[in-house]
A and B are shown apart, each in its own frame.
Chain A
Amino acid sequence: MSVNLSTATVEIRENRLKTIINYSGTAKDLNEKSKQETLRLTSVDFSQCNSCQQGCADDMCGMIIGSATVVHAPIGCFATDIGRHIQGNSVSKIRNLGNFDSHTICTNLTESDTIYGGLDKLRTAVYEIYHRHQPRVIFITTSCASGIIGDDVESVAREAEDELGIKVVPIFCEGFKSKIWNTGRDAAFHGILRSIVKKSGKKQDDLVNVFNFEGVDTFSPLLAKLNLRVNYLLPMATVEQLETISEAACTTEICETLSSYAAEGLEDVFQVPKVKSPSPYGLNWTDQWLREIAKLTNREHLAEEVIRQEHERIEPELNQLRQSLKGLKVFVFAGDTYAHNLANMTRDLGVTLIGMNTMHRDQKTDSEDINTLDNLVHSLGDIPNFSVCNVQPYRVMKIIKKLNPDVLLTRHMGLYNIGTKLGIPSIPEGDANFSIAYDGVIKLGRRLVLALETKSLVQNLSEHAVIPYTDWWMEEENDVYIGEGEFDI
Chain B
Amino acid sequence: MSSIIAQPRYSCALAAQQTVLAIPRGIPVIHAGPGCSQKAYAFASTGAGFQGEGYAGGNNVPSTNTSENEVVFGGETLLIKEIAAALKIMKGDLFVVLSGCTSDIVGDDSIQIAKDFARKGYPVVGVETAGFKGNNYYGHEAVVNGIIEQYIGDVTPQVEPGLVNVFSVVPGQNPFWRGDLEQIKNLLEKIGLKVNILFGYRSEGIAEWKNIPNAQFNLLISPWVGLSTVRLLENQYKTPFLHIKTLPVGAKQSSAFLREVGAFAGLDQEKVEQVIQREEKRYYEYFMGLADFILAFRNNLPHQLYAVGDSNYALSTSRFLVEEAGFLLEQLYLIDDPGAEGIKIAKELIHSYFGGREDQLIFENDGELISEDLREKIGDSKKALILGSDWERDIARETGNLFTYLSLPIIRKTIVSKSYVGYNGALQLLEDLYSLPFHQGEFTSNTQRE
> What is A's interface to B at a CB cutoff of 8 Å?
45-55, 73-83, 85-86, 104-111, 113-114, 121, 124-125, 128-129, 132, 143-145, 148-149, 175-179, 181, 391-394, 413-415, 417, 466-470, 472-473, 481, 483-484, 487, 489
Which residue of chain A has its CB nearest to the CB of B89?
Answer: A473
- Supply 13 A–B pairs (Cβ within 8 Å), ascending by A: A48-B62, A49-B37, A77-B35, A80-B43, A83-B409, A85-B391, A110-B134, A124-B3, A148-B106, A391-B59, A392-B59, A393-B60, A414-B53
Interface string of B29-51 (1 = CB under 8 A from A): 01011111111111110110000
Complex-state Cα separation, A310 to B193, whole angstroms: 71
Cβ of B390 to closest chain A Cβ, rounded Å: 5
> What is B's interface to A at a CB cutoff of 8 Å?
3-8, 10-15, 27, 30, 32-44, 46-47, 52-53, 55-56, 58-68, 70-71, 80-86, 88-92, 100-102, 105-106, 113, 116-117, 119-120, 130-136, 368, 389-391, 409, 411-412
With contacts A46-B89, A179-B65, A470-B91 taken as known, whether A79 is within 8 angstroms of B12 at the C-beta atoms is yes
Complex-state Cα separation, A80 to B117, whole angstroms: 34
With contacts A77-B39, A105-B4 taken as known, whether A394 is within 8 angstroms of B60 at the C-beta atoms is yes
CB-based contact A50/B34 at 8 Å: yes
Complex-state Cα separation, A85 to B394, whole angstroms: 11
CB-based contact A76/B89 at 8 Å: no
With contacts A108-B3, A470-B89 taken as known, whether A83 is within 8 angstroms of B42 at the C-beta atoms is yes
Q: Contacts of B80 on A, CB cut-off 8 Å? A: 487, 489
Cβ of A83 to closest chain B Cβ, rounded Å: 7
Q: Contacts of B30 on A, CB cut-off 8 Å? A: 49
Complex-state Cα separation, A263 to B389, whole angstroms: 38
Complex-state Cα separation, A109 to B13, whole angstroms: 12
Q: Which of B91, B106, B116 has the most CB of A within 10 A?
A: B91
Q: Contacts of A47 on B, CB cut-off 8 Å? A: 62-65, 82
**Cβ 8 A contact of B35, one of A132, A181, A483:** A181
CB-based contact A45/B120 at 8 Å: no
Q: Contacts of A50 on B, CB cut-off 8 Å? A: 34-35, 38, 59, 63, 65
CB-based contact A121/B4 at 8 Å: yes
CB-based contact B4/A124 at 8 Å: yes
With contacts A45-B81, A132-B368, A181-B34 taken as known, whether A417 is within 8 angstroms of B91 at the C-beta atoms is no
Which residue of chain B has its CB nearest to the CB of A472?
Answer: B88
**Cβ 8 A contact of B411, one of A49, A86, A394, A472:** A86
Cβ of B84 to closest chain A Cβ, rounded Å: 4
CB-based contact B131/A145 at 8 Å: yes
CB-based contact B6/A179 at 8 Å: no
CB-based contact A177/B68 at 8 Å: yes
CB-based contact B8/A49 at 8 Å: no
With contacts A108-B5, A487-B84 taken as known, whether A417 is within 8 angstroms of B68 at the C-beta atoms is no
CB-based contact B12/A74 at 8 Å: yes
CB-based contact B4/A125 at 8 Å: yes
CB-based contact A75/B60 at 8 Å: no
Q: Contacts of B35 on A, CB cut-off 8 Å? A: 49-55, 77, 175, 181
Q: Contacts of A54 on B, CB cut-off 8 Å? A: 35
CB-based contact B59/A393 at 8 Å: yes
Cβ of A69 to closest chain B Cβ, rounded Å: 10
Q: Which of B15, B38, B53, B82 has the most CB of A within 10 A?
A: B38
**Cβ 8 A contact of B4, one of A107, A176, A473:** A107
